[in-house]
Amino acid sequence: MKIFHAIALFAAAAIALPAAAQEGTLKKIKDSGTITVGHRDASLPFSYYDDKQQPIGYAMDLCMKIVDAVKAELKLPKLEVKYQLVTSANRIPLMANGTVDLECGSTTNNVARQEQVWFTMTHFVTANRWIAKKSSGIKTLADLKGKTIVSTAGTTNIKQITEINAAQNLGMNIISANGHPEAFQMVETGRAVAFVMDDILLAGLAAQARAPGDYEISADALSVEPYGIMVRKDDKAFKAVADRAMTEVYKSGQINAIYSKWFEKPVPPKGINLALPMSAAFKKVVANPTDSGDPKAYQ
């Protein structure tokens, strides 16, 4: 019986190995004829809704370059693109469980997250800062001591400020919001004195405020945050296609027009112009594409 059982197990394993080898995002896409793109609703200018509730943005444009590469790889010119709204809290689980194939937004690539998901080449480098009303007099981290601050649930930002709060015994009351607009509104209405988030997202939110001049983003940076488009962990074949597509965008110079479109010109639906030239850190990435989750790689 034991011998028979061992033979049966070996046979089952032998059958399972080729099937497992055939699994992956490319097979999933080919079998279904669709690719599912995860997007955000309010991460301007990376991934957000226009006035027709269609997802647009800088990260969306880059994801479409990857989609084109997938079409070519699988010889599926009529590949259907489906869109799935994701949040800061559910984006990683939805990638890990196969609901989305690409996550196109403002997601920080770090070593901890690489335990759950992988990232293609970095597409932006930002920093973790806070925004407050100028009238609050908040200038330094010490000024936040004992104050109520807000950040968005499921982000590296709220994790980091919680750790800083404990390490430096600042006694801050840290509350979480379900999304960036909700967090900004808490500062706007006085429920929190500051909102801790990536500076580029804070700039976009302030630009859309009723009185943009009332707000100030901190000079102090809490960390360096490289953004990447998420793909599933351990899917080397799909990541290779995504990496080649992103590298081609950078090396061919296409990135310059795409970047300028979203950061140096008015963007829909309100015609906001962030007037943000490409940073030295991101120019370094364009010259030498990297998917590193180590902040030191961008200094």
For residue 168 the two structure tokens come to 């430096």
Whether residues 88 and 232 fall in one domain: yes
pLDDT of residue 21: 35
Whether residues 252 and 275 fall in one domain: yes
pLDDT of residue 299: 85
62: nearest Cα among 116, 123, 1, 140: 123
The CATH code of the domain that includes 118 is 3.40.190.10
Whether residues 256 and 279 fall in one domain: yes
pLDDT of residue 91: 97
Q: In terms of DSSP bridges, do strands 117-119 and 230-232 run parallel, antiparallel, or are they unpaired?
A: antiparallel
Residue 68 belongs to a domain: yes
Residue 207 belongs to a domain: yes
Whether residues 116 and 148 fall in one domain: no
Residue 13 belongs to a domain: no
Whether residues 241 and 188 fall in one domain: no
Whether residues 163 and 35 fall in one domain: no
Ranges of the chain whose pLDDT falls below 70: 1-23
- Report field, pTM of the whole predicted structure over 0.75: yes
Whether residues 67 and 114 fall in one domain: yes
Give the model confidence (pLDDT) of 140-166 as tens digits.
999 999 999 999 999 999 999 999 999
pLDDT of residue 9: 38
244: nearest Cα among 57, 72, 29: 72
Residue 258 belongs to a domain: yes
Residue 7 belongs to a domain: no
For residue 143 the two structure tokens come to 């000024």
Residue 238 belongs to a domain: yes
- First-to-last CA distance in the chain? 63
Using CB atoms within 10 A of its CB, is residue 288 exposed (0-12), middle (13-18) or buried (19+)? exposed
What's the structural domain count of the chain? 2
pLDDT of residue 12: 40
Residue 87 belongs to a domain: yes
> Residue 81: which residues within 8 A CB-CB, separation 6 or more?
34, 35, 37, 67
Whether residues 111 and 254 fall in one domain: yes
Domain that includes residue 75, residue range: 22-123+228-298
Our CA angle for 109, 165, 179, nearest 5°, is: 50
